[in-house]
Amino acid sequence: MAASMRDIKESIRSKNKTMQITKAMKMVSASKLRRSQEQATAARPYAEKMKDVIMSIASGSSNINHPMMVSRPVKKTGYLVISSDRGLAGGYNSNLLRLMTNTVKERHASNDDYVVFSMGRKALDFFKKRNTPLISSIVGLSDSPQFSDVKAIANQAVNFYAEEKFDELYIVYNEFVNPVVQRPVVKRLLPLASDELEGASSKTPYEFEPSEEEVLADLLPRYAETLIYSALLDAKASEFAARMTAMTSATDNATAIIERLTLEFNRARQAAITQEIAEIVGGVAALS
C-alpha cells in the first residue's frame, strides 16, 4: 500500500508540472493571438486601397486583358500551403494537410498535374515524406512575420503563374473565424476574379500616369503578394488560437486527473490508517 501511495504521489507531482507548463503556454498563446489579430487588422487598409485602385481601372476600362485576370485552360495547378513550424496546436496542422491531401486526390490524377509551395515546417515535412512536387518552401517564420519575410516565395509563386508554369494558383491555410473556430480553406488566388472587380466601382477617382495598363501591370502582382501575406497573418492568428484552445483543454484534463489521483491517494491513505488501527486493536485484544 505504501509503495502504491508513493506512485500516486509521484504521478500527482508529474501532472502538476505538466499543468503548469500547459497553463503558461495557454497564456503565451493568448498574448500572441492578440498581437497577431492587431497585425492582421493593421495590414488590411493597404490591401483594400490596392483593390480600390484596381477596381477604378476595371470599372473605367472595357479592355482589361491582363494575364492575371484572364482564365486559361488548366493544365497544371499551383498550391501555396501555410502551416505552422511547431505542434501542440490541436488539429491545426492535421486538418489543414488532410484538406490538402483530399483536394489533390479529387482534382489530380498524378503528381505531374500540380506543384506546391509551402510555408511552415509541418507542411514541409509532410510533403517531403510523400514525394510531393515541392517547388519552394520557407520555415522559421517569426510569430509576427513581416512582408519582407515572405516576399521571395510569394513573388516566386506569382511569377510562376505569370510565366505560365501553371495555370491557376490556390492558397491553402486556416482561416481565422474566432478564437475557438479556425477553418481550413482552399481559396483561388490566381487568376484574380475579374468579374468581381468589373462589377464593382471605386468611390475615389484616380488619374493614372503613365497609363492605366502600365499601372495595372505593376499593381496586380503586388496585390496578389499582399493577399498571400494577409493569408499568412490570418493563419498565424489561427495557429495561436488553436494552440490556446489545445493548452486550455490540456490544462483542464490535467486538473481533472490531479483531482482523481488526489482522491485515490486520500482513499489509499485512509485505508492504510484503518488497517493500522485494526492491527493495533487486534494486538491489544490478543494481549488482554
pTM: 0.84
Q: What is the pLDDT of residue 113?
A: 93
* The three three-digit cell numbers of residue 271, written as one number: 485505508
Specify the fold of 43-242. Answer: Pyruvate Kinase; Chain: A, domain 1 (3.40.1380)
Question: How far is 120 from 51, CA to CA, in rounded Å?
Answer: 28
The CA–CA distances, whole Å, from 236 to 144, 163, 243 equal 8, 30, 11
Beta carbons of 74 and 161 less than 8 angstroms apart: no
Write the CATH number of the domain with boundaries 2-27+246-287. Answer: 1.10.287.80
Per-residue pLDDT of 189-228, as tens digits, reads 888 765 555 444 555 666 767 777 777 778 888 888 888 9
Q: What is the pLDDT of residue 58?
A: 65
- What residue spans define the domains of the chain? 2-27+246-287, 43-242
Backbone angles phi, psi at 156, to 5 degrees: -65, -45
Q: What is the pLDDT of residue 206?
A: 65
Helix (H, G, I), strand (E, B) or coil at 68: helix
Residue whose cell numbers read 493548452: 247
> Please, which residues have CB within 8 angstroms of residue 278's CB and are 6 or more apart in sequence?
none
The one-letter code for the residue type at 269 is R
Residues of the chain with pLDDT under 50: 198-200
Question: How far is 165 from 170, CA to CA, in rounded Å?
Answer: 14
Question: How far is 204 from 220, CA to CA, in rounded Å?
Answer: 18
Backbone angles phi, psi at 74, to 5 degrees: -90, 115
Q: Cis before residue 184, ω within 30 degrees of 0?
A: no
Pairing label, strands 114-119, 134-138 = parallel
Q: What is the pLDDT of residue 139?
A: 94
